[in-house]
Chain A
Amino acid sequence: MPAASGKRFKPSKYVPVSAAAIFLVGATTLFFAFTCPGLSLYVSPIIPAYNAVVFLFVLANFSMATFMDPGIFPRAEEDEDKEDDFRAPLYKTVEIKGIQVRMKWCATCRFYRPPRCSHCSVCDNCVEEFDHHCPWVNNCIGRRNYRYFFLFLLSLTTHIMGVFGFGLLYVLYQVEELSGVRMAVTMVVMCVAGLFFIPVAGLTGFHVVLVARGRTTNEQVTGKFRGGVNPFTNGCCKNVSRVLCSSPAPRYLGRPKAEQTVLVRPPFLRPEVSDGQITVKIMDNGIQTELKRTKSKGSLEVTESQSADAEPPPPPKPDLSRYTGLRTHLTLATTEDSSLLGKDSPPTPTMYKYRPGYSSSSSSAALPHSTSAKLSRVNSLKEPNSICESGHKPSYRSEPSLEPESFRSPTFGKSFHFDPLSSGSRSSSLKSAQGTGFETGHLQSIRSEGTTSTSYKSLVNQTRNGSLSYDSLLTPSDSPDFESVQAGPEPDPPVGYTSPFLSARIAQQRETDLHGRFAGAASPKHAAPREPSPVRYDNLSRHIVASIQEREKLLQQPPAPGREEDAELADSGIQSTPASSNAPRTSSSSDDSKRSPLGKNPLTRPALPRFGKPEPPPALRVRSLGSPDQPAAPHLGKSVSYSSQKTASQAGGPETEEVALQPLLAPKDEVQMRTAYSKSNGQPKSLGSAPPGPVPLSSPTRGGVKKVSGVGGTTYEISV
């Protein structure tokens, strides 16, 4: 019997077992003493022998069932109980052969009870494969002693039947001596046997059925598998063999404590971990993804910090899962990576991007921007680097930089490295394009084409907020003046979310500025205070439809080869690169925004097919980027709305250019990424404040920059 420490001696619980023992031993002894001699004499001596064997078997099993540890689990140590009792969920579900099984938390033993384990209130122990607590043996019946209990029942039934039968035989043989003592004793024994036979046989039959079905009494009585499937059964034969033929399980309590002879002494070896290893593992499965996330993040951080360019810090942990997988691609990144990026990760369903919680943070959004922006930026910056004052700023972070500006560095090439990470998360880019972001980003992408640090800065700000805030996009300080070098970092920090309407206003201002720039007049900076946008998904349906349309158009139009036609367009193309990243949305949004707030010719252009622009212009733009056309092309392709408009007139510049650029954009994802990217890029640049200087940051051949504001406050700077 299990030792119950600290418990009072309760004689009551020993009554049943005592009674059972007394009846068993007593009756059998009487049988042997009074009936067997006569039987051996008159019938056969085998009868007592047989009965002796059976009785021995009964006793052995009875003893084993009574004294054997049923499989008590030792109490869990404190170390194992990580969670507070109060906070631990009561149930933990585990799947066994496809069936959900609940494991209950045992407050006494402080662990989740394994399947088929139950806590016996009499013994106050959790018992493995708990069957029941038998009062007749005063012991729990569990995994270890169920076999003995079952055999006890079988043998007891046999014994009872034998005693009764042979007693009856004796009586029949000695019918003439009914009044003898032996006869009386035999009759008494027969009555006792007959009396106990009914419950014992019933219980035996019950357990025979249980064994055949692979259930425990507990499960049967509580009806766990009533009408359901028992996950613990292996078929009748296997169940029986498992009960009877399996090797007895070991006991857990009362084992001699193993001496710990192994010494743990520093120094300790550490495994080597490679980045590639990490990134690969991220793709393994969901479980490991989280594990690897931290790792990849760390590796990313290490890489970034080690890089002289002080790459923007990696995005927050949740976003890394999206990027890390692409890191491997990044390492292999070439200029063509931008096109490849889109293929890396599966395209996100259109609507999914608009889901609020889809993008964990703007940081993810920032990445795609950065990807496209950086691509364009690399190209554009190559030339104006010398003149680009803001070029010293990395501004363009592939990942949302939650770090202060100090991390920025004008290593666009390197930043480009991490862009693919973001590109992998197209959804993120799309997310950034959500709501007001669409237009804003689009506009901003155009603005940021100048590859001013401001544009990137806006991107950074966006990510820093950790939300789809496009304030940075609208930050005048960060206005992406591609045509002129910004004096310095934009003074206005991102405030928060910008309402689409506000953005529209700002966009209008910027467009005005843009025009003013053309005229040589300095455009006022956007000093519009930003207010957190109450609605993020304004014009959602519009954007969706527009983006879908744009995508279709993009797919229809093949990318145009680079051409010489548009040096200017190239500039705009550069500018619109970020915008193009947001093309699907931003272009649509920009269209909308242009239509609504501006009401100017660009917006009236929508009648023109977005891709109506002849191919040459887009191609030219690509080329003017001064970088491989391919990366630029996708960016360019984004600004569909603008390109179409631009065809109408140069003044409408931004639109047309963007439209022209759009055909170059092949993969949807890139478009989306760029869209988001451009959004973030364009935002901080103060389009309005863009100097009318003819030299955009993106390209020296750049003419004036026209700023067009779209819906949602996105502002697009289009070189004219």
Chain B
Amino acid sequence: MQGLGLGTSGDMLGSVHSLQELRRSASLATKVFVQRDYSDGTTCQFQTKFPPELESRIERQLFEETVKTLNGFYAEAEKIGGSSYLEGCLACATAYFIFLCMETHYEKVLKKISKYIQDQNEKIYAPRGLLLTDPLERGMRVIEISIYEDRCSSGSSSSGSSSSSSGGGGGAGGR
């Protein structure tokens, strides 16, 4: 798990919150994969179908909005227009040395996407025990959504994670 509320990790918050953090940590329960939508060819789109595993974790609307925004970003990245044409010409003219200095249009949009995903994670998904993974890490084939369960060693179950087992051993061991 990467920095998932593990209060015991020394590099995290100080020992002030250690007690609570020690008690309440999240463990990875399962992963949901949102597949690509190939209905329009090989253009990068993801299915907006709501995964059943997220039924009780997040509102359908939020999820769909996230996926739709991502699809919009990818469409913008793959857009063939004047800017991309000029970029190509410039690259040709400089024997592609320009790529050493400048990042392509696609890369710029990917950075925007990465920022958006992080923003979504912080605001929407992490509070619900979910984590979006940039599809770029998976070769743009899937959007990986990690579902975390509340694993309370203190025995007090988190109200938010009804599916987690209260008391030791949270229902979902890390995978």
Residues of A with Cβ closer than 8 Å to B? 56-57, 59-60, 63-64, 73-74, 76-77, 79-80, 94-97, 101, 111, 114-116, 128-129, 147-148, 151, 231-232, 234, 238, 241-242, 244-250, 252, 255, 257-258, 260-271, 273, 287-288, 290-291, 295
Contacts and interface: CB of A to CB of B under 8 A. Distances in A.
A111 B125 CA distance: 26
Given A245-B84, A245-B88, A262-B122, A291 B159 contact: no
Nearest to A262: B121
B11 interface: no
Interface in B36-68: 36, 38-42, 49-50, 52, 55-59
A252 B144 CA distance: 15
A159 to B, nearest CB: 14
B94 to A, nearest CB: 9
B172 to A, nearest CB: 12
Contact of B158 (A60, A111, A268): A268
B78 A247 contact: yes
B136 A255 contact: yes
Contact of A264 (B5, B33, B134): B5
Nearest to B109: A247
B19 interface: no
Nearest to B129: A268
Interface in B1-44: 2-5, 21, 24-26, 31, 33, 36, 38-42
Contacts of B96: 60, 63-64, 148
A172 B129 CA distance: 79
B112 to A, nearest CB: 13
B126 A263 contact: yes
Interface string B143-166: 010101010100000111110100
A268 B128 contact: yes
Contacts of B52: 290-291
20 contacts: A57-B92, A63-B96, A64-B96, A73-B139, A95-B38, A111-B141, A244-B88, A248-B104, A250-B110, A255-B137, A258-B114, A261-B3, A262-B118, A265-B126, A266-B24, A266-B26, A266-B148, A266-B152, A268-B148, A287-B49
A50 B135 CA distance: 44
A258 B137 contact: yes
A260 to B, nearest CB: 4
Interface residues of B, number: 72
Given A247-B87, A267-B158, A271-B56, A115 B42 contact: yes
Nearest to B94: A60
B70 interface: no
A716 to B, nearest CB: 46
Contact of B106 (A248, A262, A291): A248
A87 to B, nearest CB: 17
B127 interface: yes
A111 B144 CA distance: 14
B95 A76 contact: no
A107 to B, nearest CB: 16
A265 B25 contact: yes
Nearest to B44: A249
Contacts of A76: 138, 141
Nearest to B51: A291
A263 B80 contact: no
Nearest to A265: B5
A260 B133 CA distance: 9
A148 B114 CA distance: 28
Nearest to B152: A266
A569 to B, nearest CB: 51
A268 B127 contact: yes
A241 B82 CA distance: 11
A288 B77 CA distance: 31
Given A79-B31, A266-B150, A96 B128 contact: no
B23 to A, nearest CB: 10
A97 B26 CA distance: 42
B84 A80 contact: no
Contacts of A116: 42
Contacts of A295: 55
Contacts of A234: 41
Given A114-B42, A287-B49, 18 more contacts: A63-B96, A79-B144, A80-B142, A95-B38, A115-B42, A231-B41, A241-B85, A250-B106, A260-B2, A263-B4, A263-B126, A264-B26, A266-B129, A267-B159, A268-B150, A269-B128, A273-B56, A290-B52
B128 A266 contact: no
A229 to B, nearest CB: 12
Contact of B139 (A59, A74, A269): A74
Given A241-B80, A246-B78, A247-B87, A267 B24 contact: yes
A248 B99 CA distance: 10
A229 B119 CA distance: 42
Contact of B160 (A147, A258, A267, A273): A267
B127 to A, nearest CB: 5
A533 to B, nearest CB: 38
Nearest to A143: B42
Given A56-B95, A94-B38, A248-B104, A266 B161 contact: yes
B92 to A, nearest CB: 7
A247 B77 contact: yes
Contacts of B114: 258
A60 B122 CA distance: 43
Contacts of A263: 3-5, 126
A59 B97 CA distance: 12
B160 A96 contact: no
A271 B134 CA distance: 24
B106 A269 contact: no
B101 to A, nearest CB: 14
Nearest to B1: A264
A264 B129 contact: yes
A273 B59 CA distance: 9
Nearest to B23: A266
Most chain A beta-carbon neighbours within 10 Å: one of B31, B42, B138: B42
Nearest to B110: A250
Contacts of B126: 262-265
B52 to A, nearest CB: 5
Contacts of B146: 264
Interface in B70-122: 77-80, 84-85, 87-88, 92, 95-96, 99, 104-107, 110, 114, 118, 121-122
